[in-house]
Structure 1
Amino acid sequence: MQNEKQTVARNSMIASGLLALGKFIAGIFTGSIGLISEGIHSFTDFIATSITWLAVRVSDKPADDDHHFGHGKVENLAALFEVLLLLCAASWIFYQAVNSLLGESHQIVAAPIVIAVLLVSIVVDFFRVKALNRVAKATDSAALEADALHFFSDMLSSGVVLLGMVFVLFGFDRADALAALVVACFILSAALKLGKRSFDSLIDTAPSGTREDVVGLLQDFPAILSTENIRLRSGGAKLFIEVSVGVCRTLPLERINTLKQSITTKLEQHFGNSEVRVIAIPQTRSDEDMATRIRILAANHGATVQNLALQQLADRMAVGMDLVVPANATVEQAHDIACELEDVLRQALGDNTEIETHLEPQAANWLSSQDVATGELSQIQQALTVSAENCGLVQDIHDIRARETSQGVIVNFHCRVLPALSICAAHQAVDAIERQLRMQFPAVSRVVGHVEPL
């Protein structure tokens, strides 16, 4: 597609040069001010399309170490140069046409030749505008779209001059100068439109209506709590989009990254040649409960809390929790960790908040282990079965595993309870069995019981 951009720009440049040469020769030969004006206009077209061709070649270069956003604005600089040429051409044509209108009538010679040249110019401009518009739409190229608009105005102005020539054939000598004035107006109008668009791009003016489109697309993502900021800028044919969205602060990083990628993909598919950057800002949900808030505050401080117990008193809140600390920490070190976390929580929840912390040692993630002897495993199995029978709620003790580690024997077992039993009652029953087992086997340091429905 980049090659097609350069090809259509090159062909347009060649056509402008040939048209300018033909109009100059015919205008000088016939003495037509309108046709000479069109020749000057076509010469400025040739210069402008040459610059456009060079600009398209440069703008297609990828981003590098010195141009992080690519080279797209070269197209806009080229368009501004085109504007200057158009303004100069319009001024000169206007000046010559006014002098012709106020002075003596300028005689026109061989008007049929002039008409033939103008007809050729209109036909060439028609196919050139069609090709430029097609490629500009496919590549979203500002420079080629500007060229298409430019040559569409050429086609209209040539038509006006042609109309002036027809009037000259019928004896209206001033019609040629009047046609030149109309040409100047067309050139001025095209220059102002092109200049505004190019200047807006250079000063990073957001494309009209694009922000509303982005907001509408973001509404398809329920995980977005709010849209904090949207920044848009154009660089040649590429649209740069930066959106900052609020997301729940409890979302895992993996889900946030997936959300950002989904937003990026949707925006890039909708806007075609675009580069999207998504910034996720963690926010507090309006329905966030106190337990979640405490856990987040602890996690942000690098701590893990478990078994939260919250009490709302008349004038204050009481918090009880298990704080996991490294198993190799001393009592003094663990106490300092707890005090730091309690200070953080009081700053967020209020100085009068009661906080009671139970220190829970964190076992190593990986322990060297081996299965206990068969006889000891049988004893553990029998003890668990008896405890379950005495409990009355727990049945079918199975999948029992007991392994020796550097931190003692770790026992795992599965059991079944009635499906309708509350999880609190099931947890209490299993805890009772675990406590009895540790009493009977002092070497057991941890018991993990997994509950299943009957």
Structure 2
Amino acid sequence: MHAANDGHAVDDANRRKERVALVSIFVSALLTIAKAIGGFSTGSLALLSDAANSLLDVGATTLTWLAVREAHKPADDKHHFGHGKFESMSALAETAFLFLLSGVVAVEGVRRLSSGSDAVEPNWMAAFILIGAILVDGWRWWMLKRVARETGSEALEADALHFSSDLVNSIFVLIALGLAAIGYQAADALIAIGVSAYIAIAGFGLARRTIANLLDTAPPGMAERVREIVQTVPGVVAVAQVRVRPAGSGVLGEVAVDVSRTLPLERVKAIRERVTQALAAELERAEFTVTANPVQLGSETVQERVNLIAHRNRAPVHHVTVQNVSGRLSISLDLEIDGRTSLGEAHAAATRLENALREEFGAETEVETHIEPLESDPLDGQDAPPAVAARIADILRASAAATDSIHDIHHVRVRETPCGLVVNYHCCAPPALDIAAVHAQVDILERLLRQELPEVARVVGHAEPEQADRRLARTGTS
């Protein structure tokens, strides 16, 4: 639902951009005709240059409209990053129009001043045309600027800048006609030259921004902002790289983050998705590709590194024992392999794991693997007779009495399988006791049970922290 709403919002923004660009075309055409009539009727170079500027506006706004329509097209096989650069191309074309216009007006102004042919005949019709043009250009500048800011359109922003120059141009032309009316005929050519300089300066600023976008110059402060956002995402160790470039009304980017190499793939995927969501929430019209680089952290333990190497080699391990023998690292572990595997194949798998561990920790590392058969298929079984289960429960309770910490043997279940008896039971131990001590006590129960009943193939003892009321009852205190 959220994605659908975002799609509708984008479509609405695109339609608004096209609509204001189309309106601008018609308004430019009407202003061109009106200013041309006023310019020829008065002979004002400033007003004729303003009419020529409006004529160029017709071409520029038409180009803007076409560029905005083209920029909305989605990415395809030839344009993998979309068509947003069409807006930048349109803005660059407008800068060419501005420079061309400023050059023509400046040359004509200098020619009139040098030749003395600067006769201007102001009239009220020209004044009314200029006043109307000022109002229309002011409205167009405000409308285009607002829509460009709301939609991030580079082409509409260029149009807004263009029409701001038109607004200033028309104001100065009106001043030139006023000065000509009171006898300062040369003011028309001088102001026309000044307007041409203003147009050239505006064009230079627009060209600089447009060329920067075409060269994929990162928006100021954007990379730093992206780093700040990404670093707040849990699981991100560091931001390795940020690349940002403008694309039409939006921004495209690539972010590479460092994550712990011990994380499972599902967790890494979740971190990348959170980074993407965080960037989308904070940055409008931005689309980022996020990659994750697994790195070794200084806080990794030897056991974590062993488990990671084993996981990479698809080798289940347990009972990992790490020793420091006279400054040399020694690692021993149980390697689980399908019990149906031949010894030759199992030994080759163990050798591959041992070599991988030596590559991780150094060739001098001592690595010993105990191959343990793994039951890959479920065992067919059935509940043992009640008498057998009761006897095993009694043996466990008697054995628990011989330990320091294990008591309250309960929930005893015994199953008969082709491999022998499988025993599952629960017991209690002090909650403050460390699990190594609890495990050692549970192992004692297993050994004692096997001594009494050799047919027991598997014993699973589940230790639970004893409750306060049970401890009081066991010790006989109140």
**Structure 1 residue identity aligned to 2:203:** A
Q: How far apart are residue 47 of structure 1 and its match?
A: 0.5
Count of matched residue pairs? 454
TM-score (normalizing by structure 2)? 0.91
1:338 aligns with: 350
Q: How far apart are residue 407 of structure 1 and its match?
A: 4.0
The C-alpha deviation readout for 1:65-97, integer Å capped at 9, x for no partner, is: 433322211111111221222222111111111
Whole-angstrom CA distance in 2 between matches of 1:432 and 1:234: 68
The C-alpha deviation readout for 1:149-195, integer Å capped at 9, x for no partner, is: 11111111211222222211221111111111122112212222222
Q: How far apart are residue 222 of structure 1 and its match?
A: 4.5
1:2 aligns with: 14
1:295 and 2:295 are equivalent in the alignment:
no
1:233 and 2:245 are equivalent in the alignment:
yes
1:357 aligns with: 369
For residues 140-159 of structure 1, the aligned pairs below 5 Å read: 140-159=152-171
The C-alpha deviation readout for 1:318-340, integer Å capped at 9, x for no partner, is: 11211222222122222111111
Moved more, 63-72 or 326-335: 63-72
Q: Select which of 108, 117, 126 maps to 1:105.
A: 117
Q: Select which of 168, 172, 191 maps to 2:180.
A: 168
Match of 2:402, SS state, is: helix
Moved more, 93-102 or 262-271: 262-271
Distance 1:97-1:416 versus aligned 2 partners, 3 A rule: same
Does the 8 Å contact 1:23/1:35 carry over to 2?
yes
1:81 aligns with: 93
Q: How far apart are residue 408 of structure 1 and its match?
A: 3.6
Q: How far apart are residue 247 of structure 1 and its match?
A: 0.8
The C-alpha deviation readout for 1:421-451, integer Å capped at 9, x for no partner, is: 3322211111111122233333332111111
Unaligned runs of 5+ in 2: 1-12, 467-478
Does the 8 Å contact 2:39/2:48 carry over to 1?
yes
Moved more, 106-115 or 123-132: 106-115
Match of 2:389, SS state, is: helix
Match of 1:224, SS state, is: coil
2:145 aligns with: 133
Does the 8 Å contact 1:380/1:437 carry over to 2?
yes
Does the 8 Å contact 2:231/2:239 carry over to 1?
no
Whole-angstrom CA distance in 2 between matches of 1:407 and 1:14: 90
Moved more, 28-37 or 330-339: 330-339
For residues 189-228 of structure 1, the aligned pairs below 5 Å read: 189-228=201-240
Q: How far apart are residue 148 of structure 1 and its match?
A: 0.9
Q: Select which of 380, 383, 389 maps to 2:395.
A: 383
Does the 8 Å contact 1:157/1:182 carry over to 2?
no
Q: How far apart are residue 342 of structure 1 and its match?
A: 1.3
Distance 1:365-1:173 versus aligned 2 partners, 3 A rule: farther
Q: How far apart are residue 128 of structure 1 and its match?
A: 0.7
Whole-angstrom CA distance in 2 between matches of 1:406 and 1:241: 61
Moved more, 77-86 or 137-146: 77-86
**RMSD of the TM alignment (CA)?**
1.7
1:436 aligns with: 448
Unaligned runs of 5+ in 1: none
Whole-angstrom CA distance in 2 between matches of 1:272 and 1:405: 63
1:347 aligns with: 359
2:297 aligns with: 285
For residues 395-434 of structure 1, the aligned pairs below 5 Å read: 395-434=407-446
1:23 and 2:35 are equivalent in the alignment:
yes
What is the identity percentage for the equivalent residue pairs of Structure 1 and Structure 2?
39
Match of 1:391, SS state, is: coil
Moved more, 95-104 or 373-382: 373-382
Moved more, 395-404 or 13-22: 395-404
Does the 8 Å contact 1:322/1:360 carry over to 2?
yes
